[in-house]
């Protein structure tokens, strides 16, 4: 029964999302680590190992002079006390969305409205909320794992399903270093 209801919720959210994206299309621009000044990272914060990988990525990006913010989605109805945000990290959970996935938290709305040069979606499996936030993002260049949502990404990294977030992060960094933006 809950799968049926979730399908209806997601279809309604996708319908509203498509209408919104038609009215306010994002500006697309190719960026690499030399041209990007800002980056956003969307990740699944449910697993603590993912947070460490995101911290490592943020450190690498800051060394390159890229101002970075991360939004972690916790696939639970309530956020634990372990997830405390700061100027770099913001956390969201299922209760931060309405029944049809409208955003209820101002910090999340600020994140998706920020025109980042890069949006890195660092997930192995993509919960609907992360896909939704990625679609809403005003980022100019979106990077993530191929096969999750090919409409979302401007650059997709093909990765064996047995590889984890660490390998995805490594490949994203590798390809963003290779991109030539002349």
Q: What's the whole-model pTM score?
A: 0.89
Residues 79-111 have pLDDT tens digits of 665 656 677 888 898 899 988 888 998 989 999
**What's the pLDDT band for 56 if we cut at 50, 70, 90?**
very high
- What contacts 49, CB < 8 A, 6 or more positions away? 164, 165
- What contacts 21, CB < 8 A, 6 or more positions away? 135
């Amino acid at each position: 029964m809950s799968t049926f209801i979730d399908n209806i919720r997601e279809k309604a959210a996708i319908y509203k999302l498509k209408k919104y994206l038609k009215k306010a299309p994002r500006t697309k621009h190719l960026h690499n680590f030399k041209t990007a000044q800002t980056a956003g990272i969307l990740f699944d914060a449910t697993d603590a190992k993912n947070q460490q990988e995101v911290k490592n990525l943020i450190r690498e990006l800051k060394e390159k002079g890229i101002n970075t913010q991360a939004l972690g989605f916790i696939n639970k109805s309530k956020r634990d006390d372990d997830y405390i945000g700061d100027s770099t990290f913001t956390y969201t959970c299922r209760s931060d969305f309405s029944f049809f996935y409208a955003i209820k938290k101002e910090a999340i709305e600020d994140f998706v409205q920020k025109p980042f040069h890069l949006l890195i979606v660092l997930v192995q499996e993509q919960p609907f909320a992360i896909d939704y936030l990625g679609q809403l993002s005003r980022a100019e260049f979106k990077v993530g794992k191929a096969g999750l949502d090919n409409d979302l990404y401007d650059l997709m990294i093909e990765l064996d399903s047995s590889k984890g977030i660490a390998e995805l992060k490594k490949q994203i960094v590798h390809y963003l270093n290779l991109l030539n933006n002349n």
